[in-house]
């Protein structure tokens, strides 16, 4: 069974943290699905992953294309056609205990300045850990990432 890591974003914006985590995931040899709830956010992330940084490129695609299965990183609002070994949930997108069991890792990124996002993450934590998933809570409040809690498993 994989782990679910919750990332409480309070310092760096989603785009910056996502890029770092995606680069590390690809270095680990994982195929990744970035699951969001809206096309608007995924379009914004898609543009950022293409444009920043100027000296780098992170191979990815948006779901719905003819080459979805070939994408090392696929941005989607649903199931991913790229056979992922890692799911990154943003914008409160749902993940299940069963998905966590099948993946090398599941990551939930949430905005620490958004009360709705905080409440959604708390509910996800409770549901997933009560369902038997192992979860770790990471905070960057101190200026660097620190694991603050773990449960389940």
Give the model confidence (pLDDT) of 58-85 as tens digits. Answer: 889 999 988 999 999 999 999 899 999 9
Q: Is a pLDDT exceeding 80 seen at residue 53?
A: no
pLDDT band at 45 (very low <50, low <70, confident <90, very high): very high
Q: Is a pLDDT exceeding 80 seen at residue 150?
A: yes
- Going by C-alpha positions, the residue among 107, 129, 101 that lies closest to residue 35 is 107
Higher pLDDT, 147 or 51: 147
What integer pLDDT is reported at residue 34 of this predicted model? 97
DSSP E strands, the chain: 3-9, 32-35, 61-62, 73-76, 86-89, 105-111, 134-139, 146-151
Terminal Cα-to-Cα distance of the chain (whole angstroms): 8
What integer pLDDT is reported at residue 153 of this predicted model? 72
pLDDT band at 42 (very low <50, low <70, confident <90, very high): very high
Phi then psi for 121, rounded to 5 degrees? -65, -40
- For 141, the token pair is 């409040």
What integer pLDDT is reported at residue 52 of this predicted model? 64
Using a 10 angstrom Cβ sphere, with 0-12 exposed, 13-18 middle and 19 or more buried, the burial of residue 112 is middle
> Taking the model in full, what pTM does it have?
0.94
Phi then psi for 7, rounded to 5 degrees? -110, 110
Measured over the CA atoms of residue 18, residue 12, residue 140 and residue 6, the dihedral's sign is negative
What integer pLDDT is reported at residue 51 of this predicted model? 72
Q: Which domains can be identified in the chain, with CATH numbers? A: 3-151 (3.40.50.10110)
Beta bridge pairs of residue 105: 3, 86
Cβ neighbours for 142, distance < 8 A, ≥ 6 positions apart: none
What integer pLDDT is reported at residue 48 of this predicted model? 85
Half-sphere CA count of 92, side-chain side, radius 13 A: 12
Per-residue pLDDT tens digits for 87-126 = 999 999 999 999 999 999 999 999 999 999 999 999 999 9
Write the CA distances from 129 to 2, 33, 111, 136, 145, integer angstroms. 12, 22, 20, 10, 21
């Amino acid at each position: 069974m994989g782990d679910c890591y919750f990332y409480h974003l309070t310092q760096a914006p989603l785009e910056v943290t996502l890029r770092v985590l995606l680069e590390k995931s690809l270095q680990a040899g994982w195929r990744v699905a970035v699951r969001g709830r809206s096309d608007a956010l995924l379009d914004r992330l898609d543009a950022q992953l293409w444009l920043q940084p100027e000296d780098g490129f992170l191979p990815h695609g948006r779901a719905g294309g003819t080459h979805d299965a070939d994408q090392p990183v696929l941005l989607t609002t649903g199931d991913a056609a790229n056979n992922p070994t890692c799911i990154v949930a943003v914008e409160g997108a749902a993940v299940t205990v069963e998905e966590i069991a099948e993946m090398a890792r599941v990551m939930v990124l949430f905005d620490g300045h958004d009360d709705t996002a905080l409440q959604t993450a708390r509910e996800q934590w409770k549901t997933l850990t009560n369902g038997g998933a192992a979860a770790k809570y990471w905070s960057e409040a101190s200026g660097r990432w620190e694991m603050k809690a773990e449960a389940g498993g």
